Amino acid sequence: MNAVLELQQPAGIEARTVVAAQDLTRTYGAGETAVAALRGVSLEIPRGHLTAVMGPSGSGKSTLMHILAGLDKPTSGTVEIDDVEITTLRDNELTKLRRRHIGFVFQFFNLLPMLSAEENITLPLSISGAKIEREWLEELLDATGLADRRRHRPAELSGGQQQRVAVARALVSRPTVLFADEPTGNLDSQTSAEILGLLRGAVETYGQTTVMVTHDPKAATIADRVLFLADGLIVKELGRSSQAEILETLAEVGR
């Protein structure tokens, strides 16, 4: 069963699809022990939206995100990012695509311990050999509240600060899409709120298209749209919702 989605467009933003997936399946292993993590997912991510992907543990959220981001290949189906079909690209082309189009925020912050906060933020640019726009960097540092911590190493930063560095690192190359996998999974509720504020702010201020995987209903309240995954299928979709609505839907799809 394919869940084809009708898009609900927030007023004032011209909806243009940035990421489009068709009939994605992903099976791990083969034969008796094969696990179908995705069983036929189609979706479109519109520009300037924050899309949350929710679902019980093991429902296929991370798998979906990895495939959308070009980190993994689907067993069948296609993914287009900015109208480029990515499932047939070779490793080098994919790497180049990631440099241009994709930013990541991970659950474990994954900063390089020997680099300063600022160096960690600009790492994607220096890897791709792109020029660092000073103004943009300063703006990011200000927005993430790291301006006075720029010379600090990750070990000298709190968890929340480290994740803010990670968010700034994901934004620095102005990616077409930002993917965040459980960005608050490793943080307390106070710092979680800060990070969510940052992500939402990026959407509001820069129109940053964002896909966030989370199992935290509170996190999903910042999303323009919430997709619910269960057993490798999209089973439900909500627009901007309250925590109560999300909890209710979760309980529903959890059955």
Helix 189-206 × helix 159-171 angle, to 10°: 20
CA-derived radius of gyration, the chain: 18
Is position 62 an interface residue for ligand ADP (rule: CB under 6 A)?
A: yes
Which one among 51, 59, 122, 162 touches ligand ADP, defined by CB under 6 A?
Answer: 59
Q: Centre a 10 Å sphere on the Cβ of residue 37 and count the other Cβ atoms it contains.
A: 24
Q: Which does 92 bind (CB under 5 to 8 A by kind): other proteins, Mg ion, ligand ADP, none?
A: other proteins
CA 213 – CA 52 distance, rounded (Å)? 6
Minimum CB distance to other proteins smaller for 92 or for 190: 92
Q: Which does 99 bind (CB under 5 to 8 A by kind): Mg ion, other proteins, ligand ADP, none?
A: other proteins
Minimum CB distance to ligand ADP smaller for 57 or for 189: 57
Is position 74 an interface residue for ligand ADP (rule: CB under 6 A)?
A: no
Which positions touch other proteins (CB under 8 A)? 66, 69, 71-72, 91-92, 95-96, 98-99, 103-104, 106, 108, 110, 112-115, 123-124, 126-129, 169, 173
Which one among 25, 27, 42, 58 touches ligand ADP, defined by CB under 6 A?
Answer: 58
- 49 burial (CB, 10 Å; 0-12 / 13-18 / 19+) is buried
Q: What x-and-dash track marks residues 8-37 binding ligand ADP by CB under 6 A?
A: --------------------xx-----x-x
Q: Are 60 and 67 in contact (CB under 8 A)?
A: no
Nearest by Cα to 8 from 176, 241, 247: 241
Quote the least distance from Cβ 83 to other proteins, whole Å.
20
